[in-house]
Structure 1
Amino acid sequence: MLLLVHYNDVVAQSTQTIRGRIVDEVTQTPLVGVSITITTSTDKLLGTITDAEGNFRIDNVPVGRQILKITYVGFQEQTIPNTVVTAGKEVVLNVSLVENVNNLNEVVVTGDGKEDKTATNNDLAVVSARSFNVDDTKRYAGALGDPSRMAANFAGVIGGDDSRNDIVVRGNSPTGMLWQLEGLNIPNPNHFGALVSTGGPVSILNNNNIDKSDFMTSAFPAQYGNATAGVFDLKLRDGNNQQTEFIGQVGFNGFEFGAEGPFKKNSDASYIVNYRYSTLAIFNALGMEFGTGSNIPYYQDLNFKISLPSSGNGKWTLFGLGGKSEIDLLGSEAEIEGDDDLYGDANADAYPRYQTGIVGLSYETNLSDKTFAKFTAGISSTEENWHSDSLVRNQDNIVIGKHLEGEAKFTTTKYSVNFLTRTKFSAKNSITSGVTVDAMQFGLYNREAYANLGRDTVRLDVDESATLFQGFSTWRHRFNNNFSVNTGVHTQYYTLNEQWAVEPRVSVQYIVNPKHSLSLGYGLHHQVQNITTSFMQTKTLTGPILTNKDLDFTRSQHYVLTYDWNVTPNSRLKAEAYYQNIDKAPVEAHRSSFSALNTGASFGPVDEDSLVNNGTGTNYGIELTLERFYNRGFYYLVTTSIFDSKYKGSDGIERNTAFNTGYVLNVLAGKEWKIGSNGKFFSVSLKVTTIGGKYLTPVDVARSQQYQRTIYKDGQAYSDKQDPYFRTDLKLSYRKEYKRSTLEIAMDLQNVTNNQNVFSQNYNVKTNSTVTQYQQGFFPVPFVRFTF
């Protein structure tokens, strides 16, 4: 590190290239003659215009933060206020311009797809949506380069689980999330993931490969289906097609090495690839525990994308990601009196194994000057293996034997195709339509063993397939530059139980003036039941039967009102009120507190059988976002949510959901200083989070003692409110710009106050008492990145 810091320390002022492509927002056709100017104060005026393919290039741009102004006759002007220019990597921008409905009034849009947090890739998402800027995962404290953990800072998203990055949206189960990658519906993209969740301890997604993406929390457009909570629509960026670049990185997420560049000189074809291997074993050796006690997780992953332009305006893209993870959760090595292991059990040795892979191929082209089309096909697979041994101890608590307690193997393979087309009839009218087919094959096996009784119970044992068909169409009408309406319909058909759903979607946006705008949104949404739920077995005298297989979709209706205020050119205030009504949620046929709306609160699959679609739920609340974009070295993001999340099981009693914390407050701020005049920068980022205490189900100590395992008082489900969650993270960073490379060093100090936040409560057989497990304490995370 010292050698890198002093390497080439005395150089001329570092410069870099800014280049990219500018296209029409709807048709994606290139725009010729667009003017791009750097308006930041410099010694000379820098700028250019786009060529016949919409490409532009500006050389010799000084490193630092730059402001770009983009103008084109007949289109709305754009200003990109915060473009980070470093010596080690070219800046490549892909910008979409919006055509003016008329040319009588000037409209200036501050920001674009790369920097504007309110401008999404999908122009049809006008409520409960924002772009996901991957640079924030590198900048903000506590994010650890993880897109999901960064999303937890957005209004409406509830964090508070240090062990996993599940995205809990507005009191909904994390299983209500839809993950998309380049248009494909994908499985859980996390290490140690599971079929019953959409999160994990570490993301497989690499933030060095992710492009600007969309994150939606309610009433999303008709393009998205089979989700009741939210959507994370991810894009992978193209590799640099003019210059070969490399990156080396060490941090919490692992040892990383990446490369990108053209396949050959003067070729528009490019590649980008990044490989990562776990570093947690090193942290453990240094005495830094991270919530798994003495148990060390191992994982590795690969992200890649290959872009191959074809004749005309066509483009082929091959993309994919994959990851493999394993850990031995050894209760035989845990302390009996107090267990710091967030994942394991002091009374068992468990061996989770997980791997997933996704690969896709897409082709996009302009069928005409007015129509854009994209076809994508892909395969995704997951394999989840787990087995657990119960421990036999003597009177001195020494392990003297082990017996199989349970085992599971879940495998899935999904073949997916997606076709999307966008046609602009005029500046006022456009239609976006598409179809998606997901053909799934799965093998599920899960059994519980009872060594003391000499028998076992098989809960899942199936090898079957099912297909989900989806189609949509959305018409967008712009009455003028300030008033637009999106109306659409989404439909889906599930072959497993021959269920249909037709879903209307509508949103309205009115820009009162350049500072104020109002938006309304409504959406009807359905989601299929998890396959582990659908194939849960019920024992009968004549053999097992599948009592959950014919469950209908869970149904959800979203209502949203949004107000946006551009307080200054660099700051914005957003207020949003929402109401969500849920019905047809699976609950037990007999009276109980169970509801599938709480799925995801624990790591294991739901094993209830004989379910019916009689459950209901409601989520409503108010959210505020106050944000200052980076300007003069300072930025901040303040988000707060006040909400209520309730459900009813088959007993008809209204209860708190497992995710009803009542409120969330996130305060993030950062400051960057330039040190001297030779490309050195120092920055500080602070994050403070407080969340209302979560509700837990009390442990039934008497019955737990009787059966020698944790049993909860289901009649008092989610009634025991815990203390509020509180955590402070501090990140210190140093960046040095060399002539053709960049070095970054940082230390992310997580939970600097070492606050004890409640994780769970369980019954400890050996101590014969209820034990409270706490979340991650103070944890320093070093980080080094070198780009060249």
Structure 2
Amino acid sequence: MQTLSLKIATSAAAICFSTLVFAQQKYSVSGTVKDKKNGELLLGVTVKVAEDPTISVVANEYGFYSLSLPKGTYNLIISNPGFKDFQQSVTVENDIKQDLELSQEGREERDEKTTKIDEVVISGVKKDKNLSSAQMGTETLSIKNIEKLPVLFGEKDVMKTIQLLPGIKSNGEGSSGFSVRGGATDQNLILLDEAAVYNASHLLGFFSTFNSDALKDASIIKGNSPAQYGGRLSSVLDVKMKDGNNKDYNVNGGIGLISSRLSVEGPIQKEKSSFIVSGRRTYADLFLKATDDFKDSKLYFYDLNLKANYQINENNRLYLSGYFGRDVLGLGDTFSTDWGNTTATLRWNSIINSKLFSNTSFIYSNYNYNVALSSNNNTFGLDSKIEDWNLKQDFSWFAGNKHSIKFGLQSIYHTITPSSASGTSVSSFPRNPRYSWENALYINDDFKATEKLTINYGARLSMFSVLGGDTFNTYQNGVLTDSEFLEKGKFGKTYINLEPRITANYRINEVSSVKGGYSRNTQNLHLLSNSGSGNPTDQWIGSSYTVKPEIADQVSVGYSRNFNNNNYELNAEIYYKSMQNQIDYKNGAQISFDTAADVESELLFGKGRAYGLELIAKKKSGKLTGWISYTLSKTERKINGINDNEWYNARQDKTHDLSVVATYQLNPKWSFSGLFLYSTGNAVTFPTGKYELNGQTIFQYSSRNADRMPAYHRMDLSATYEPSSNKRFKGSWSFGIYNVYGRENAYTITFEDNPDKPGTTRAMQTSLFRWVPNITYNFKF
């Protein structure tokens, strides 16, 4: 009897278990998300299950998504800012591939349907990504919105736009350089289609290298970056180029007062391959040729973006993209300088299965500059270069509805040629290139722990090896202590660092959430600059026997709240960042170009700290949109041998930074934009005394960066007129004025003997722009 009962119980348990297993069996719904109009893959799209809103996934940076669902019929809600939200019905009986297409707002009729999918446009989907994402300190920029903002010379510019966000500070008037949460300019990783851009400015910073006509997406991450990013302490600016329209041919461009641009895109093989070519050039030099004094001068830049893609089959696609840009400045035969970037990326996307996505990238990046001087039969030349060969292998694994895991590796071979001089006016000192090999392994998981708690955590293992081919000196407080020649191909010093990272978001209720995070970042490439805004001839060096990797540990806490059905948004974050192995020049450093001294002998090392409060309030819909951002912060360094070994202000320290940005859509034809900026002046070192030596005035200086430039503020206004147009041709006019009320902001302040009052000193302020009007005609067909 007991035996029979045991058999019955065992059989019942087996039936229940099999039923449970069957009930829990899940299948994959996966595919890619595209722009319906042009076939561009869309990144960051949210795909949510209407029947269970806790089940959702975000498409990766290549437009791939994957959900795990039991058998049944479901309604998928697909949403992305700037596109119409819609609901897609799917019946799940096994693994299915479901590609999705989104329509841009205002571009297609709501009742337009496709023959493949049952599309129902819905309203009221909440734009609450700021409340649900665990990622902190991240802003994604809409290229469409950038077009309407007033900027210098009328050029829409990603680099200028990010400087209007909290925690991101401009390095000066006209400069495209920026600092993030107390970091230096070189502590920002700037990527264009995964390739590093080492100098992202044109014309000494008045333009950036990014032609917005060629861009699809741009995002900035302030310190708390996921583990797939590495190599810089402060931020990641990740810029992606358009893939090119694979359905129709388009031409668009603009003609401005000093520059013009033109882009052409279209299918190579319809809906299977496409291309885009986008070029831009300034022509200020043409106006100079009309004058007698400057007819032999050169002053221009050009850049060219190229990209093509080919779909091998439904699971594999190839991309090839490139960027070429150059600046040329010259004054007859006496002076010339040019600098520029070259990047190339060959990328292979592969959907391995319904849950695993692979991206393999081969990347090339080059930045170099050349300077030439000639006078009285004397010549002088200076050049420098940094070149990278980079291999990346990334995987996206949608392990389940709760886990989106990314893992991979990266290997970069660096060649850095330091500033090398030649000529008759100075002693030539050619420099040997320095080689290094940088590797990294990473893993990162976006984990939906509960309905309210989301955690993004991971780690990056970075390795940097100094390779042979040069003599490496070791200095202690600027004093030579050792020297070693390392044969080419040999391994020298290797630095290994583990970089843990974690951020978490807790959804308090439907309208608010709190976030917190910690991250460690390391940096092995360093830019030596003696100016606050940066120059093309600033010198890159790698970690060596003397220069150690910079390390930053950042802790941040944030609060987000939305209002009025998510049409208004308020975000606040506080942060504290501790930095190791920070670099600065020692007092009286000899850094002129006509010396062959090892630049490492002029460096000192210490620590840094940065902390602050960031606030941003946004209005995201309606005729009037925009934001107000404010940053209260402090940035300091403490380096033995500087400022009596006490803490001193970093050059990029600004206590207050305020931006007000607004766009008003008056009617379908007219829109108006304006912005107001205010910031504390940069920290600088002014002389505290002077003395005469051999008839020359020598100024004396005391504390490093103890003084301030005057506060900076200005207002810009613009208007855009879009007349009625047909389906094939669209044109618009953009009018604007930079610095409306003519504020003479200080670019530099120098000191000299006052000829009117002998024995006294006067300060001389240089300002760049007072009023700068612009008119640009934009077209598309």
Q: Return the TM-score normalized by structure 2.
A: 0.75
Instruction: Report the Cα offset of residue 463 of structure 1.
Output: 2.0
Matches for 1:698-709 after TM superposition, within 5 Å: 698-699=686-687, 702=690
In structure 2, give the amino acid aligned to 1:326. V
Q: Which has the larger radius of gyration?
A: 2
Q: Report the counterpart of residue 423 of structure 1 in structure 2.
A: 397
Q: Any conservation in 2 of the 1:79–1:110 contact (CA below 8 Å)?
A: no
Aligned residue for 1:609, secondary structure, equals helix
1:739 aligns with 2:736: no
In structure 2, give the amino acid aligned to 1:157. I
Question: Which residue among 435, 446, 455 is the counterpart of 1:465?
Answer: 435
Distance 1:498 1:62 in 2: 55
Q: Report the counterpart of residue 164 of structure 1 in structure 2.
A: 175
Matches for 1:42-81 after TM superposition, within 5 Å: 53-56=98-101
Q: Report the counterpart of residue 442 of structure 1 in structure 2.
A: 416
Instruction: Report the Cα offset of residue 239 of structure 1.
Output: 1.1
Q: Report the counterpart of residue 141 of structure 2 in structure 1.
A: 132
Question: Which residue among 478, 494, 497 is the counterpart of 1:498?
Answer: 494
Q: Any conservation in 2 of the 1:592–1:649 contact (CA below 8 Å)?
A: no
Instruction: Report the Cα offset of residue 466 of structure 1.
Output: 1.4
Q: Any conservation in 2 of the 1:669–1:686 contact (CA below 8 Å)?
A: yes
Q: Could you list the per-position Cα deviations for residues 698-734 of structure 1 after superposition, in whole angstroms to 9, with x for gaps in the alignment? A: 147846986979x764533212222210111011110
Aligned residue for 1:208, secondary structure, equals helix
Aligned residue for 1:139, secondary structure, equals coil
1:645 aligns with 2:635: yes
Aligned residue for 2:710, secondary structure, equals coil
Q: Any conservation in 1 of the 2:567–2:619 contact (CA below 8 Å)?
A: yes
Q: Report the counterpart of residue 371 of structure 1 in structure 2.
A: 356
Distance 1:492 1:259 in 2: 40
Instruction: Report the Cα offset of residue 433 of structure 1.
Output: 0.7
1:110 aligns with 2:100: no
Q: Could you list the per-position Cα deviations for residues 658-681 of structure 1 after superposition, in whole angstroms to 9, with x for gaps in the alignment? A: 11121100011121122xxxxx51
Q: Report the counterpart of residue 274 of structure 2 in structure 1.
A: 270
Distance 2:188 2:520 in 1: 15
Q: Do the aligned partners of residues 728 and 372 (structure 1) sit closer, same or farther apart at CA in structure 2, a change above 3 Å counting?
A: same
1:357 aligns with 2:342: yes
In structure 1, give the amino acid aligned to 2:401. A
In structure 1, give the amino acid aligned to 2:745. N
Q: Any conservation in 2 of the 1:699–1:770 contact (CA below 8 Å)?
A: no
Distance 2:568 2:590 in 1: 42
Q: Judge which range, 248-257 or 463-472, deviates more.
A: 248-257
Q: Do the aligned partners of residues 46 and 373 (structure 1) sit closer, same or farther apart at CA in structure 2, a change above 3 Å counting?
A: closer
Q: Report the counterpart of residue 690 of structure 1 in structure 2.
A: 678
Distance 1:298 1:692 in 2: 32
Q: Report the counterpart of residue 579 of structure 1 in structure 2.
A: 576
Q: Could you list the per-position Cα deviations for residues 596-634 of structure 1 after superposition, in whole angstroms to 9, with x for gaps in the alignment? A: 9xxxxx9x9998532677411111110110111132x21
Distance 1:369 1:417 in 2: 25
Q: Do the aligned partners of residues 447 and 780 (structure 1) sit closer, same or farther apart at CA in structure 2, a change above 3 Å counting?
A: same
Q: Could you list the per-position Cα deviations for residues 298-328 of structure 1 after superposition, in whole angstroms to 9, with x for gaps in the alignment? A: 1111012212112132111111111111112
Aligned residue for 2:723, secondary structure, equals strand
Distance 1:257 1:434 in 2: 37
Question: Which residue among 711, 714, 738 is the counterpart of 1:727?
Answer: 714
1:205 aligns with 2:210: yes
Q: Do the aligned partners of residues 363 and 763 (structure 1) sit closer, same or farther apart at CA in structure 2, a change above 3 Å counting?
A: same
Q: Could you list the per-position Cα deviations for residues 623-668 of structure 1 after superposition, in whole angstroms to 9, with x for gaps in the alignment? A: 110111132x211211010111111222312111111121100011
Q: Any conservation in 1 of the 2:305–2:323 contact (CA below 8 Å)?
A: yes
Aligned residue for 2:173, secondary structure, equals coil
Aligned residue for 2:159, secondary structure, equals helix
Distance 2:38 2:397 in 1: 31
In structure 2, give the amino acid aligned to 1:305. K
In structure 1, give the amino acid aligned to 2:501. R
Aligned residue for 2:600, secondary structure, equals coil
Q: Report the counterpart of residue 482 of structure 1 in structure 2.
A: 452
Instruction: Report the Cα offset of residue 586 of structure 1.
Output: 2.9
Q: Any conservation in 1 of the 2:66–2:355 contact (CA below 8 Å)?
A: no
Question: Which residue among 286, 304, 325 is the counterpart of 1:323?
Answer: 325
Instruction: Report the Cα offset of residue 242 of structure 1.
Output: 0.7
Q: Do the aligned partners of residues 436 and 705 (structure 1) sit closer, same or farther apart at CA in structure 2, a change above 3 Å counting?
A: farther
Q: Return the TM-score normalized by structure 1.
A: 0.75
Q: Report the counterpart of residue 52 of structure 2 in structure 1.
A: none
In structure 2, give the amino acid aligned to 1:610. S
In structure 2, give the amino acid aligned to 1:586. I
1:246 aligns with 2:246: no
Q: Report the counterpart of residue 313 of structure 2 in structure 1.
A: 311
Q: Could you list the per-position Cα deviations for residues 507-539 of structure 1 after superposition, in whole angstroms to 9, with x for gaps in the alignment? A: 111111221011111111111143779xxxxxx
Matches for 1:510-521 after TM superposition, within 5 Å: 510-521=506-517
Point out where structure 2 has 5 or more consecutive residues left out of the alignment. Answer: 1-35, 48-56, 68-73, 91-95, 467-492, 530-541, 756-760
Distance 1:80 1:448 in 2: 67
Q: Any conservation in 1 of the 2:315–2:350 contact (CA below 8 Å)?
A: yes
Q: Could you list the per-position Cα deviations for residues 220-276 of structure 1 after superposition, in whole angstroms to 9, with x for gaps in the alignment? A: 221111111111011112211111111121136721111111113x43211111111
Aligned residue for 2:147, secondary structure, equals helix
Matches for 1:78-93 after TM superposition, within 5 Å: none
Q: Report the counterpart of residue 406 of structure 2 in structure 1.
A: 432
Q: Do the aligned partners of residues 532 and 619 (structure 1) sit closer, same or farther apart at CA in structure 2, a change above 3 Å counting?
A: closer
Q: Do the aligned partners of residues 125 and 490 (structure 1) sit closer, same or farther apart at CA in structure 2, a change above 3 Å counting?
A: farther
Instruction: Report the Cα offset of residue 475 of structure 1.
Output: 2.4
Distance 1:730 1:286 in 2: 31
Aligned residue for 2:676, secondary structure, equals strand
Aligned residue for 1:493, secondary structure, equals strand
Q: Any conservation in 1 of the 2:147–2:156 contact (CA below 8 Å)?
A: yes
CA RMSD of aligned residues (A): 4.2
Q: Could you list the per-position Cα deviations for residues 138-184 of structure 1 after superposition, in whole angstroms to 9, with x for gaps in the alignment? A: 11122631111011001011126223200211222111100122333
Instruction: Report the Cα offset of residue 505 of structure 1.
Output: 0.7
Q: Report the counterpart of residue 301 of structure 1 in structure 2.
A: 303
Distance 1:476 1:724 in 2: 42
Q: Any conservation in 2 of the 1:490–1:503 contact (CA below 8 Å)?
A: yes
Instruction: Give identity over the alignment, percent.
Output: 17
Instruction: Report the Cα offset of residue 760 of structure 1.
Output: 1.4
Q: Any conservation in 2 of the 1:254–1:279 contact (CA below 8 Å)?
A: yes
Question: Which residue among 755, 762, 772 is the counterpart of 1:779?
Answer: 772
Distance 1:67 1:110 in 2: 22
Q: Report the counterpart of residue 654 of structure 1 in structure 2.
A: 647
Distance 1:548 1:19 in 2: 47
Q: Report the counterpart of residue 621 of structure 1 in structure 2.
A: 612
Q: Any conservation in 2 of the 1:756–1:777 contact (CA below 8 Å)?
A: yes
Instruction: Report the Cα offset of residue 772 of structure 1.
Output: 2.3
In structure 1, give the amino acid aligned to 2:583. P
Instruction: Report the Cα offset of residue 547 of structure 1.
Output: 12
Distance 1:293 1:556 in 2: 50
Distance 1:511 1:668 in 2: 28
Instruction: Report the Cα offset of residue 429 of structure 1.
Output: 2.1
1:509 aligns with 2:513: no
Distance 2:679 2:80 in 1: 42
Q: Do the aligned partners of residues 311 and 168 (structure 1) sit closer, same or farther apart at CA in structure 2, a change above 3 Å counting?
A: same
Q: Do the aligned partners of residues 688 and 162 (structure 1) sit closer, same or farther apart at CA in structure 2, a change above 3 Å counting?
A: same
In structure 1, give the amino acid aligned to 2:99. G
Aligned residue for 1:736, secondary structure, equals coil
Q: Any conservation in 1 of the 2:689–2:700 contact (CA below 8 Å)?
A: no
Instruction: Report the Cα offset of residue 190 of structure 1.
Output: 2.9
Q: Any conservation in 2 of the 1:37–1:68 contact (CA below 8 Å)?
A: no
Q: Any conservation in 1 of the 2:506–2:513 contact (CA below 8 Å)?
A: yes
Instruction: Report the Cα offset of residue 201 of structure 1.
Output: 3.0
